[in-house]
Chains A and B, each alone.
Chain A
Amino acid sequence: MTTLTVTFTLNGKPVSLAVDPSARLLDTLRYQLGLTGTKEGCGEGECGACTVYLDGLPVNSCLIPTYQVRGQRVETIESLESLGQDALEPFERCGATQCGACTPGVVMTAWWIREHPELLGTHSIRELMAGNLCRCTGYDGIVDSVAEALRETASGRRET
């Protein structure tokens, strides 16, 4: 089996891997690197459970061949752990998670929104979260959490 060497930045650290050219970024993260926080819900870019950041933008890792991220910055849910428990407190309090299968993807998109509050000038939270399907919460817990997180940023609390 031919492999390609792909060098990129993963969660702030440089990595260099031999990957199967057919590997999706999702497969490389989960099976080759053991970073199982990113989930596979559909394999077709509909559910968003596989959301990671690529050069700072949320994307579906199930639709990205690993070789395409060479030289780029990839961040997974594991990178948000450094934010600490406080940062995720609004999500706990507002019931953003139930079964948890969609949750890492949801948190990735939600945190990105929180970091880009100017988007709310043109978009609603619901529109921005529409690429993350959830079957348990009915979305209120998620939307409320994002609103809370944004409110706390705006008021100056929980600055990271």
Chain B
Amino acid sequence: MLPGSLPEALDTLASDGAAIPIAGGTDLLVHWPVHVEAHERTYVDLSRLDPLKPLRWTADALMLGGLTTYWDVIRDERARDELPLLVDAARQVGAIQIQARGTWAGNIVNASPAADGVPVLMAYDAVVVLESRRGREEVPLDRFYSGYKEMQRRPDQLVVGIRVPRRRYSYQVFEKVGARRAQAIAKVGLAITRSGAGWRVVAASVAPTIRRCPAVERLLETGTPIGSPAALLPAIAQDVAPIDDIRSSAQYRTHVMARVLYHDLRDFWGRRA
């Protein structure tokens, strides 16, 4: 299906619950020839919904469009200044060929626990803007996922935008631990920010969903002294549940998370805001 406008696309999704929206195709088309059963399904091509492509700065927020790509953000100077984690993460997604096609919205709805865009958006308190024939809905990204590949998106909804509030951050870092520097799926992803709204610690690849780490955040908010990576293990155990899989092991993920958190935040443990 090749809708020419957003309303057309939404109509199609409303009438066919099994139709799959396709944007950049960088997830859906992997190994396409081999996955013959995927060829039977109905796809709704979003690539001509031009109003969804640009990103927009307002007084309060960066509005990423439903089709804004990683490359769009990498090229945006204001993003580099104000929301640098978006640029950091975008540069670590695949390589240029993927960055030129992959969309932030696609990253969100693909719902991989190892996504690169989601953690930084979540650490920036991004809000997902969904449209359907039934109207608009906004869901904070940190409440968007309910389980492995389960999210607050009905089949008739499209992500038309992602709103990232503009804030002054006193600390921000994105760490992607992969098996190589580019074209790698994260074994552990961590996005950490601190602003007037408080600490945000977001972890990827260590649980069925990308999520905030409230126990770790609490340690930071309360200024609990932490003398070693090992001291973080109890909080980590409360917040995440890494597994062994084809890429890495639960034990490795846990230890890496502890060490990266410990060392990156060395200046902050034991100090209240």
User: Which residues of A does B touch, CB under 8 Å?
Assistant: 4, 22, 24, 27, 43-46, 48, 51, 54, 57-60, 62-65, 67-68, 70-71, 109, 122-123, 127-128, 130-133
- B95 within 8 A of partner (CB): yes
Cβ of B100: which chain A residues have Cβ within 8 Å of it? 54, 57-59
Taking the closest CB of chain B, its distance from the CB of A53, in whole angstroms, is: 9
Task: Knowing A22-B39, A127-B91, A130-B183 are in contact, say whether A65-B96 is a contact too (CB < 8 A).
Answer: no
Using known A-B contacts A127-B182, A130-B182, determine if residue A63 contacts B29 with beta carbons closer than 8 Å. Answer: yes
- For A40, give the chain B residue with the smallest CB separation: B33
B: contact size bracket:
20 to 34
Total number of residue pairs linking A and B with CB closer than 8 Å: 88
For the complex, is B18 an interface residue (Cβ under 8 Å from A)? no
CB of B91 within 8 A of CB of A65, answer no
Q: Name the A residues within 8 Å of B145 (CB-CB).
A: none
Partner of A57, one of B26, B32, B71: B71
Given contacts A65-B25, A68-B47, contact A45 B32 (CB under 8 A): no
**A64 with B39, Cβ < 8 A, contacts A54-B100, A58-B97, A59-B97 known:** no
Which residue, of B45, B71, B97, has the highest number of chain A Cβ atoms within 10 A? B97
Partner of B2, one of A43, A48, A67, A133: A67
Q: Does B54 belong to the interface (CB within 8 Å)?
A: no
A24 to B22, CA, bound (A): 13
Whether the pair B2, A131 counts as a contact (CB closer than 8 A) is no
| Residues of chain A lying within 8 A (CB to CB) of residue B259 | none
Tell yes or no: B98 within 8 A of A by CB. Answer: yes
B30 within 8 A of A: yes
Mark out the residues of chain B between 78 and 103 whose CB falls within 8 Å of any chain A CB in the assembled complex: 80, 91, 94-98, 100-101
Chain A residues, CB < 8 A from B101: 54, 59-60, 63-64
What's the nearest-Cβ distance from chain B to residue A57, in Å?
4
Report yes or no: A43 in contact with B32, Cβ–Cβ below 8 A.
Answer: yes
CA–CA, A109 and B45, complex, Å: 27
Interface of B is mostly: loop
> A131 and B95: CB pair below 8 A?
yes
B25 neighbours in A (Cβ, 8 Å): 63-65, 68
What are 24 A-B pairs at a CB distance below 8 A?
A: A43-B34, A45-B97, A46-B183, A48-B95, A57-B71, A57-B96, A57-B100, A58-B100, A60-B101, A62-B29, A63-B24, A64-B29, A65-B25, A67-B45, A68-B22, A68-B45, A128-B96, A130-B95, A130-B181, A130-B182, A130-B183, A131-B97, A131-B182, A133-B183
Q: How far is the CA of A127 from the CA of B39 in the complex (A)?
A: 34
A80 to B45, CA, bound (A): 30
Q: Shortest CB–CB separation between residue A110 and chain B, in angstroms?
A: 11
Q: In the docked arrangement, what's the CA distance between A123 and B232, Å?
A: 35
**Judging by beta carbons under 8 Å apart, are B32 and A24 in contact?**
yes
Question: B31: CB under 8 A from chain A?
Answer: yes
Given known A22-B39, A58-B100, A131-B182, contact A63–B95 (CB-CB < 8 A): no
Q: Give the residue among A27, A109, A131 with the most B Cβ atoms within 10 A.
A: A131
Note all chain B residues with C-beta closer than 8 A to A70. 2, 48
The residues in B between 12 and 58 inclusive whose CB is less than 8 angstroms from any CB of A are 22, 24-26, 29-34, 39, 43, 45, 47-48
Say whether A60 contacts B97, CB under 8 Å: yes
Residue of B nearest to A128 (CB): B96
What's the minimum C-beta distance from B21 to chain A, rounded to whole angstroms? 12
Chain B residues whose C-beta falls within 8 Å of the C-beta of A131 in the assembled complex: 94-98, 182-183
Q: Among B2, B80, B98, point to the contact of A60 (Cβ < 8 A).
A: B98
Note all chain B residues with C-beta closer than 8 A to A27.
33
B-chain residues with CB within 8 Å of residue A22 when the two chains form the complex: 32, 39
Question: How far, in angstroms, from A59 to B101 measured CA to CA in the complex?
Answer: 7
Q: Which residues of B contact A109 (CB under 8 A)?
A: 96-97
Residues in chain A near residue B182, CB distance under 8 A: 127, 130-131
| Cβ contacts under 8 Å, B183 to chain A | 46, 130-131, 133
Residues in A whose Cβ lies below 8 Å from that of B95: 48, 128, 130-132
**Assuming A43-B30, A58-B96, what are 6 further A-B pairs, CB within 8 angstroms?**
A45-B97, A62-B32, A63-B101, A122-B80, A130-B182, A131-B182
